[in-house]
Amino acid sequence: MLSVLEVKKRLPKEFVERLYENYTPLTVDKILSGMSGERNTTLRVNTLKSNVQAVMNDLKENNIKFDRVQWYGDALVLKNASEKQVQKLELYESGSIYLQSLSSMVPPLVLGPKANEKILDLTAAPGSKTTQMAAMMKNNGYILANELDVLRCERLKYNVEKQEATIVEVNNGRGETIGKQYEGYFDKVLLDAPCSGEGRFLANDAKTYRSWSEKTVRELAKLQKKLFKSAYQALKPDGEMVYSTCTLNKEENEDILLWAIQELGIKLLPIKINIKNAETGNLQHLDMDSSEKIGATSVVEEVKKAIRILPSKETEGFFVAKIKKA
């Protein structure tokens, strides 16, 4: 595991500087420490094909050690197996489990899709959250899983079929146009937006941060606003939506919410999920320090209802906000 000083040297200089602009030095150290080494392999049990007890028994037979995740009974953290090793197991081949980061499991849990609801997953590939929601709904209801990129859309179809998520319809199209096509149609919408991926950076793996730039952040923020508007348009009155990213900067997170409050009149809902990590205490309800530059007190209080998960040995960095349509 690298030291925080070594992590600073390896990551893009502008990225590190922006962290210090937006966070306290203590929080920056936590973030950089969470990027200093490999993350544990984590998985979700596919309850459409198996159950957690059967999966745990199978892992024990294969001498794989694991911990259960307290805040999500279908999730496991593996202690002595890589993703490549897991992919050789019958459990994986059969679709009984899905390799998924713990942070990635949070947005569907916050959205809380229920049986017989109509759900939109606006930018769905590779299908981690899509198939998780289908399992939460016990394959009762309807999920439209949209993806623009053709190759990623094929991967999405493959995962949906492998997980036997039979209520999912896969659509290859522009997320920006879905709102007009399905105006006021969906009970709930998940927008896990394309982002700069800062929460996934690992200092010893250059491909996780090689493509990052301040220009890319700005361009993605413009796209996120278009997708947000489309997602919100597709939502029924009184419907609920989750906006999430796996990045850490304000432009793609708090600033998007600010824009949506001012331009779309959104209302944020408090998030009631207790994600704790003994090693880092990596869940943050947004504090006033991190939001003080963004406007009037009432708006600050609204934005503070979102949550941030800091990178750690077990979690990628994530931002999650829950929205209700007036």
Would the CA dihedral through 76, 82, 84, 89 be positive or negative? negative
In this structure, the strands spanning 118-121 and 142-147 are parallel
Task: Name the active-site residue from 35, 246, 303, 306.
Answer: 246
In angstroms, the Cα distances linking 240 to 113, 164, 247 are 10, 26, 22
In angstroms, the Cα distances linking 138 to 67, 189, 209, 239, 255 are 25, 18, 37, 20, 35
Burial zone of 79 (CB within 10 Å; 0-12 exposed, 13-18 middle, 19+ buried)? exposed
Q: Which two tokens stand for residue 124?
A: 């769905």
In angstroms, the Cα distances linking 87 to 21, 94, 286 are 41, 10, 37
Please provide the distance, in angstroms rounded to a whole number, between the alpha carbons at the two ends of the chain: 48
DSSP bridge pairs for 245: 319
Q: Does the annotation count 153 as an active-site position?
A: no
Nearest to 134 by CA among 165, 163, 102, 158: 165
Q: Could you tell me which residues come within 8 angstroms of residue 9 by beta carbon, excluding any fewer than 6 positions away?
A: none
Would the CA dihedral through 171, 253, 199, 163 be positive or negative? negative
Which positions are annotated as active-site residues? 246
